[in-house]
Each structure stands twice: as structure tokens, then as C-alpha cells.
Amino acid sequence: WPVFAPYIHAINRLKKERGAVILAHNYQTPEIFHCVSDIVGDSLQLAREAGTVDAEIIVQCGVHFMAETSKLLNPDKTVLIPDLKAGCSLSESITGADVRRLKAANPGVPVVTYVNTSADVKAETDICCTSSNALAIVESLEEDTVLCIPDEYLAMNIARQTSKKILTWKGHCEVHERFTADELLAYKQTDPNIQIIGHPECHPDVIAVCDFSGSTSGMINYVKEERPQKVLLVTECSMASNVEAETPGVEFVKPCNLCPHMKRITLPKILDSLVFMKDEVTIDPLIADRARLAVERMVNLGK
Ligand code: 13P
Ligand code: SF4
């Protein structure tokens, strides 16, 4: 990758000089994921790691809600995001005012909020969850009815695995909602040996035809451990490229969909971020104190 080399070199040098740490989500492009990141992972791993990093500066290579989560857990550190516009369709599907209305309409029902939300929404929440712990979080609650928001499909996928009544919201991931069961079945018909593994943000009909479903890191671990001959990852495009580099011998079929928000993060923007110390993520302290509780409850549950 000669075109990336000067950026990789400059970022790694400046990162050391500044004492910064780079956290990257599994959907970051291979040159970011493999060449400049210090810590990679799914949303839960990044949230856990954000709470323990030593560095004074965190550069979050992912979308805005991930940087906000890091800031919530590190209020005294500088958290930078290389592009402030890196959003998320799930996060944009719901506001704090929506959650207040939902709570008023469902008194006494605990609110489990997917981490893919703004701090404003988290502040109205009892406990957060990610795709890797959603079922455990729901099961940890005493109540028989749970509001699981804002991802309708994640909620429907959880509902299939619990006896609790799950209420939800109409939010969707614009990347995962595009996959269809028919499309995947066509791959199975062409090659019955293909392993299909999907992210729980997909519609339950899609998950029903998958051989395995899990968080982004859950999917990566599955491929690393099972070493299928041929695999199709029903998720964002960069995942397959990132795992492919680490699993020689596994053939990846790639009918992937791109996340335009994740793709806003690029090497030149990461370099700019370190040179100019931008863009800093800030959260209104009144919101942050309440939102932090919901994230901390989630992080502490697995301890
Ligand atoms: P994970 O927590 O599985 O990494 O999912 C985050 C995400 O944004 C998936 O679209
Ligand atoms: Fe949000 Fe979907 Fe992109 Fe993940 S892949 S950041 S859920 S839009």
C-alpha cells in the first residue's frame, strides 16, 4: 500500500509524540485497522477498553456514538474523532424526548438502550447494551417486560431467545437492513458448504438462514476458530477484508454493504486529527452524568 505508507508512518510517529491511543472499530478499513490502531474491537470491547486506557488522548476511529461512549467513560481525557459527521442511522432514529415519551407510555418498564445512540438518549436509559451482550442484559432485569430500543431488528432477534415481552422502536441500521434472506439462500443453493454468519442488526428472517449470529467480534472469532472453507459475512464490507488478512485459507464471499459513516474516517483525517487536535468530543455535563451511569451499568454487568 505505497499510497498509505507516508500517512501510516506520520500517524504512528505523532501518536507516540502526543501520547495518544487509537481505538478502532472492526468496520474500519484495513489500513486503519491493521496499521495505525492500538486497540480494535466491537462496540463492547471498545467501551471496556476506553475505560482502562492510560493515554491522555484517545483518537476514536469509528462513529460518533463510539467516541461519545469513550468520552463518557473518560471525562477528563481528550477524545478526538477524525470526522464529527460520522453518524449512525440507528443513533439518528431516536431522541431523548422520544425516550421520555416511551417511558411515560410504559410506566415501570425498564429501558435497555443500544449503545448506538446519542448521550442524550443514554441519559434517559436504565442500562445500555451492545450486540454482544443484549440478551444477557435483558435477562439480567427482574421485570417481565423490557423496552429494547432503538433497533427493531436487534429487539426482534432478542425476543426470539427470551421469554420476556420485548417492546421496541422503529430504528434500523441502514447497512444491515439491506440484506435479504432470499439473497443469502441463493448463495446457499449455489454452494451448500458456504457458512453464512450475520450481525443481529439484520432482520430476523435473515438471521434465520445464518449458521451463526453475533457481534462483529463474535463473527470474527467464529471465523478464526471454525476456519470454514468458504464464508459469507452478512455485515459491513471492511470486516471481511480485515479478517481475511488474518485467516489464510478461508475464502470470503463478499456481497457486503458499506457503512458511509464508518467510511468517513480515513488516514489523512486521522493525521489531521493528531496534528490539529480535532475534533474534540464534548458532552453537556448534566447529560453526561446520567448517560455514564447507563454505560457503566452495562460494562460492570460482565465483570
Ligand atoms: P458491534 O457492537 O457488533 O461491533 O456493532 C456495532 C455496529 O455499529 C454494527 O453495525
Ligand atoms: Fe450505524 Fe449501521 Fe453504520 Fe453500524 S453499520 S455504524 S449500526 S449505520
> Which numbered atom of ligand 2 lies nearest the CA of 236?
5
Residue 78 amino acid letter: T
How many Å apart are CA 269 and CA 142, to the nearest integer?
A: 45
Mean pLDDT of 296-303: 86
Confidence grade of residue 302 (pLDDT, cut at 50, 70, 90):
low
Mean pLDDT of 97-119: 98
Shortest-distance Cα residue to atom 6 of ligand 1: 43
Q: Strand, helix or coil at 269?
A: helix
How many Å apart are CA 38 and CA 188, to the nearest integer?
A: 37
Q: Which residues line ligand 2 (CB under 6 A)?
A: 63, 88-90, 116, 173-175, 201, 236, 259, 261-262
**What CATH number matches the domain at 177-258, 1.10.3720.10, 2.60.40.10, 3.40.50.150, 3.40.50.10800?**
3.40.50.10800
> Which numbered atom of ligand 2 lies nearest the CA of 261?
3
> Which numbered atom of ligand 2 lies nearest the CA of 201?
7
How many Å apart are CA 72 and CA 285, to the nearest integer?
A: 9
Peptide linkage before 279 cis (omega within 30 of 0):
yes
The pLDDT value recorded for residue 303 is 63
Provide, rounded to the nearest whole percent, the portion of the chain with pLDDT above 90. Answer: 94
The pLDDT value recorded for residue 267 is 98
Tens of pLDDT, residue by residue over 49-76, are 988 999 999 999 999 999 999 999 999 9
Would 5-86+263-283 and 91-173 be classified into the same CATH topology? yes
Tens of pLDDT, residue by residue over 139-196, are 999 999 999 999 999 999 999 999 999 999 999 999 999 999 999 999 999 999 999 9
140 appears as a binding residue in the annotation: no
Residue ranges per structural domain of the chain: 5-86+263-283, 91-173, 177-258
The third-level CATH classification (topology) of the domain covering 91-173 is Rossmann fold (3.40.50)
Q: Which of 131, 137, 222, 263 to mutate to test the pocket of ligand 1 (most atoms within 8 A of CB)?
A: 131
Shortest-distance Cα residue to atom 7 of ligand 2: 173
259 appears as a binding residue in the annotation: yes
DSSP-assigned letter for residue 262? G
- DSSP per-residue letters across 148-209: EESBHHHHHHHHTT-SSEEE---B--TTGGG--HHHHHHHHHH-TT-EEEE-TTS-HHHHHT
- Superfamily of domain 5-86+263-283 in CATH is NadA-like (3.40.50.10800)
Tens of pLDDT, residue by residue over 193-252, are 999 999 999 999 999 999 999 999 999 999 999 999 999 999 999 999 999 999 999 999
Grid cell of 251 as nine digits: 475464502
The pLDDT value recorded for residue 178 is 97
Shortest-distance Cα residue to atom 2 of ligand 2: 173
Which ligand has an atom closest to residue 86 CA? 2
ipTM > 0.95 for the complex: yes
Q: Confirm if 160 and 226 have CB atoms less than 8 A apart.
A: no
Residue 301 CB contacts under 8 Å (≥ 6 apart), including other chains:
127, 133, 136, 137, 140
